[in-house]
Structure 1
């Protein structure tokens, strides 16, 4: 709106002959430049140049402002470079999750002026995968040129390998459970047989003890009778 008023004032002074054609042309160029500058700024940055009266002054203010922004970007980039350098895949992390985490950090670095190629990203991912991907990484590096691969192709190849490992792990767990159940069943049967055998032995011992006790009582009775007869 302010520029519109300035345009109107410019045409007024030109029409009245106060300003010459050369000065009017220069002023029009300045107003046009300020118009394009204002249109390319958000409301926060626009407040910094709202008081300026020329495109040159507005440009100088923006240069000084973004010098500070560039310093902040450099500090951020140093931090994010360090984060990318230390980035590692977790043992329980899925391939898709690790790709998302890596690409999120890379995109932040790119938005702050860093230049990273897809090959650099793929090399970083291959270097930092867990041990279970060691053979797959070796096969990819030996049989394929990363220059000809895309990030999507690499992720798909690693996900297929991950799925095969998961299926194999599930099968091994099921087999281990079956072995444990079989061992427990055998142990229970052995314990039952042992208990039954022990019960049979105890029963046989009890019968033998009862028989000996009965015979002892009978023999004592006969001696008593004989003794009575001799006395008689």
Structure 2
């Protein structure tokens, strides 16, 4: 049986930064540097005043960290850090380009703080999708050097839930200690309640459909309709009235109510003459 070869961690897999999502790339690279014991050197630079042996070792580590940074950026960004002699210099160049200077960071921090305060869950949005939006903004604020406390985030989520979760938020605020409740615990509880809320809303919708179907089948009409028959229509029969005849009753079209001049003779079908006229012609009226 062949012996298994050990897994080498000397060359970690680095994420390539292309100018987007700097905060996430920085987080991953920070973990890579820590796994190689290089983060302190990248963050603070090569220490001065060391003896020759330690200085040589520090320069070797610095070259390794610089190599990782160069591998972790694409061509246009690599051109910007070409002149950097140390890993710290290269790291600061990328940081200033995509995170900004201290003044720019202050402006971005204020904008993100406003975005955090105006967060609101949509009626059709799921708990998981909304919490993902919250976490993205919290991480962006954290990347700028300001960390929101767990209690602040939990309180904001409870205040900004959709109206259908109002009773859940009130119950949790009354029964749980908000200072010790974590965002993960809150998310798990809200997702459990979400299943029940959606189930309840589904049952209400089904009940409404059943009531509507029963009302339609029983012939219940709008208020004020004098006819309860389901098939009744005021225009049924091609414009005919209640008395048969193409659009007219016993009187003439546009009848003025004159019982003599506008009576139709049911023998000759003429209007405006007396029945005696037909009788004289030998026709029976």
TM score, norm. by length of structure 2:
0.49
Return the offset for 1:65.
4.5
How many residue pairs match? The answer is: 177
Aligned to 1:33: 58
Residue 48 of structure 1 corresponds to 83
Question: Which shows bigger deviation, 165-174 or 120-129?
Answer: 165-174
Residue 164 of structure 2 corresponds to residue 125 of structure 1 = no
Pair 28,62 (structure 1): closer, same or farther in 2 beyond 3 Å: farther
- Quote the Cα distance in structure 2 between the aligned partners of 1:95 and 1:132: 12
The offset of 1:98, in angstroms, is 0.4
Q: 1:63 to 1:163 in 2, by over 3 A?
A: closer
Q: Which has the higher contact order (CA 8 A, sep 6+)?
A: 1
Q: Which residue of 2 aligns with 1:190?
A: 229
Task: Say if 2:81 and 2:93, in contact at 8 Å, map to a contact too.
Answer: no
Stretches of structure 2 that go unaligned for 5 or more consecutive residues are 1-49, 71-77, 222-227, 235-241, 245-266, 268-278, 280-285
CA RMSD of aligned residues (A): 4.0
Which of 162, 165, 181 is the equivalent residue of 1:149? Answer: 181
Contact kept, 8 Å, 1:88 with 1:129, in 2: the verdict is yes
2:139 is aligned with 1:107? yes
Task: Determine which structure has the larger helix proportion and give its number.
Answer: 1
The Cα of 1:76 is off from its aligned counterpart by 3.2
For residues 201-220 of structure 1, the aligned pairs below 5 Å read none
- Contact 1:38 1:46 (C-alpha < 8 Å) held by counterparts: no
* Residue 177 (structure 1) shift: 1.4
CA contact (8 A) 2:81 2:90 kept: no
> Is the 2:151–2:180 contact (alpha carbons within 8 Å) kept by the matching residues of 1?
no
User: What is the rounded CA distance, in whole Å, between the counterparts of 2:107 and 2:188 in structure 1?
Assistant: 35
Q: Would you say 1:81 and 2:113 are equivalent positions? A: yes
- Superposed CA offset, 1:94-146 (max 9, x none): 11110111112212222332212222211110111122222211111111102
Structure 1 stretches lacking a partner, 5+ long: 1-24, 51-57, 196-200, 204-212, 214-219, 221-232
Do the aligned partners of 1:126 and 1:137 also contact (CA within 8 Å) in 2?
A: yes
Instruction: Write out aligned runs for 1:169-180 (5 A).
Output: 169-180=201-212
Asked if structure 2 preserves the Cα contact closer than 8 Å seen for 1:48 and 1:61, the reply is no
Work out the CA distance in 2 between the residues paired with 1:128 and 1:119.
Answer: 14
Deviates more, 1:177-186 or 1:41-50: 41-50
